[in-house]
Amino acid sequence: MKSIKLALLFSSLCFITFLDLGAQEKNDYLATYDSIIGKENLTITNGLFHFNNYRVNNNKDIYYGTDKFVTGSVNYLGQTYPELSLKYDAFNDEIVYRSSGKSEKTGIILIKSNVDSFKLNDLTFVNLDKINSKKEDYVKGFYEEKIKNTTLSFYIKHTKSKREVFIGKSIFVEFSDVTDFLLYKDKIFSTISSKKSIINAFPDKKKSINEYYKNNSELKKKDKILFFTTLLQTISQ
């Protein structure tokens, strides 16, 4: 059986090389390749076992977005794997992959150093360890890539804070969302948390930044992600 699978794979690779397929067609091929050999045999399955055994209150879990596996893709060791069952453990900063079965609590933790990026719920997450050449302590792991243009890159770090709660005689855990913002400009990382930090990064845009803050105070209170994203998109044009 293995020899048949290898023969099929070799024939498919030769066919792709001959036709010089585009990126989308290569992704279609990978999906076919997965179905031939089985996802449980892919390189990405070489990770530790994941199991969530927290007793969570109010559905405040360790995962970003949802505790259910959803369809996404991973760029792993330079190779893109589409249509995978994934979820993001934001508390431990780990991407979890389910190769088979239907359990929502178990999966495989992908080796972080091998993950270049992943896509989940139409969001792109990148491993900034790959480009943090100066090894700044405040730049670690996976970040949502919100803006990327010729002027700057704007990243969002989604993490979780943890607290224990007592209900009757039982102890439960609640995880709450924590969001931090990171700017990459002129090959330098800097944290974004205030008007001053943005002016330091864009001293020539001070007037525009002050005006934006003045006109969008309510948005800043309601939605910091949208507030900073809109501001940085405006001043980077």
* Chain segment 88-147, per-residue pLDDT in tens: 999 999 999 998 777 787 899 999 999 999 999 999 999 999 988 778 889 999 999 999
Say what the pLDDT of residue 42 is. 63
Number of domains observed in the structure of the chain: 1
Ranges of residues in the chain with a pLDDT under 50 are: 1-38
Is 33 within a domain? yes
Is 193 within a domain? no
- Alpha-carbon distances, residue 206 vs 170, 212, 213 (angstroms): 53, 10, 11
The helix (H) or strand (E) run that includes residue 232 is helix 224-235
Is 92 within a domain? no
Please give the span between the terminal C-alpha atoms of the chain, in angstroms, as a whole number: 57
Report the length, in residues, of the chain. 237
Is 1 within a domain? yes
Is 3 within a domain? yes
Is 185 within a domain? no
Is 8 within a domain? yes
Say what the pLDDT of residue 150 is. 92
Domain with 24, as residue range(s), is 1-37
Is 72 within a domain? no
Please tell me the pTM assigned to this model.
0.81
Provide CB contacts within 8 A for 120, sequence distance 6+. Answer: 65, 70, 72, 86, 87, 88
Say what the pLDDT of residue 38 is. 46
